Amino acid sequence: MKGKRPISVYVSSPYSKGNKLANIRRAIEAGEQLWQAGYIPFIPHLFHYWNKISPKTEKQWLGVGKIWLTQCDAVLRLEGKSKCIGLLYGNHRLLV
């Protein structure tokens, strides 16, 4: 696939509302479906595990997520309220 880059997709869904581990699992499952379909998923929920080893503030993680969002080609918005909803703007295609 020389010269053609796969489409990167930012997975946006609830993290802190409700059961965090269930939310992480749901985001990973969505990311896996994207992977199987030929996309490159970015799952910010995986910061959860990084934060266990090297804690950062919520503001820092949201800042990093915002930077990654600008690098992705599209956004997959799963149901539910998410702090990431404030990051859904610009020229990103919203996949439903």
On whether residue 40 sits in a domain, the answer given is yes
What pTM does this model have?
0.80
Please write the tens of the pLDDT for every residue from 32-84.
Answer: 999 999 999 999 999 999 999 999 999 999 999 999 999 999 899 887 654 44
On whether residue 2 sits in a domain, the answer given is no
Q: How many domains does the chain have?
A: 1
Residue type, 85: I
Residue 79 dihedral angles phi and psi, to the nearest 5°: -60, 155
Which of the four pLDDT bands, split at 50, 70 and 90, describes residue 14? Answer: confident
Range of the domain at 61: 8-95
What would the mean pLDDT of 8-25 be, rounded to a whole number? 91
